[in-house]
Amino acid sequence: MVDIVTLTLNPSVDVSLSVERLVDTVKLRCSQPRKDPGGGGINVARVLKRLGSDCLAIYLAGGSAGDYLGGLLAAEQLQTKRVAIRAETRENVTVLETSTLREYRFVMPGPTVSELEWRRCLDALEAIDPPPRYVVASGSLPPGVPTDFYARVARWAHKAGVAMVLDASGEALAAALEVGVFLFKPSLDELRGLSEGPLATRAQWREAAQRLVQRGCAHKVALSVGGRGAILATQSDVVQLPAVPVTVVSAVGAGDSFLAAMIWAIDHEASSEEALRYAIAAGSAAVTNPGTTLCDPTDVVRLYHDSLALAAIED
């Protein structure tokens, strides 16, 4: 039996490198590129494994890039189920401009996926017996996958008694929230798209997250706003905590680390405040590392204890 399953419909090989300054036309001398596994669900699974959770990552992949991605995941000894597709898995590129410390992220749309291929992904999930306790649907949908894909997963989760965790955007997000999920992690822009008004203050962030819970879109809503902290709204309370100060190297994968640690904490029956502190610690740990390295458990524990000195925000 597997406890947690993640779904990644649009994974990637994440290529990260640095250059002194981005200038058009001329040849730019770059650092040696670093390559990491990428994609929301895959990143969540990588962090969950590091934290000791029993996790299976289901993902679509094809071509030589898909083979390379599989090799990267095998090197991390991650339990996976690859659903083969004919088209080539994408590569995303992150460039750090060392003269300014600005990070530029170039994200590809991904391969076109056939109906047979995306249905095989659903079949792989539904074939797990007994069903997992959690299913994490995270990341963008590639061309060819219907916008109601995550809603289909949500309906299956309801029937199977599985807690669904969602990190998505746009029409795919809206369709799944109509069905309802256990935990939803929006960005501030995504929360604004689901709410009325600009959401310019912390109080407005809290109210918007609470409304999603009250409307039945999710049992829990976790909002991370980077250096401004994070919020966890549930059916019984709302907790808001400040960020843990760290030196940022790369923001890639911080949200996935945040979400993975929250799932891990909730699975270990942590309180709302404890779960949010672990999530903030993992997101903060991730940004101190290059590329899609994600977080190290030792750093997560250290930053969690640092966060205990920071009081909850009451406004």
Domains and CATH numbers, the chain: 1-184 (3.40.1190.20), 208-315 (3.40.1190.20)
0.85 exceeded by pTM = yes
Query: At 57, phi and psi to the nearest 5?
Result: -105, 115
Q: Can you tell me the distance from the alpha carbon of 257 to that of 275, in angstroms, rounded to the nearest whole number?
A: 13
Give catalytic status of residue 189 as yes or no.
no
- Judged by average pLDDT, the poorest of 11-15, 152-156, 187-191, 299-303 is 187-191
Q: Which of 47, 41, 53 is nearest to 6 (CA)?
A: 41
- pLDDT at 197 > cutoff 80: no
- pLDDT at 270 > cutoff 80: yes
The residue-averaged pLDDT of 121-138 equals 97
The pLDDT value recorded for residue 315 is 64
Whether the upstream peptide bond of residue 142 has omega within 30° of 0, thus cis, is no
List the strands of the sheet with 55-61, edge to edge. 80-84, 55-61, 4-8, 134-138, 163-167, 181-184, 218-224, 230-234, 238-241
- The confidence band for 1, taking pLDDT boundaries of 50, 70 and 90, is confident
CA-based angle 127:129:41, to the nearest 5? 65
- β pairing state of 238-241 and 4-8: unpaired
Could you say which of 36, 148, 256, 267 is catalytic?
256
- pLDDT at 196 > cutoff 80: no
Q: What would the pLDDT profile of 28-61 be if each residue is shown by its tens digit?
A: 999 999 999 999 999 999 999 999 999 999 999 9
Contact criterion met (CB below 8 Å) for 157 and 164: yes
80 beta partners = 57
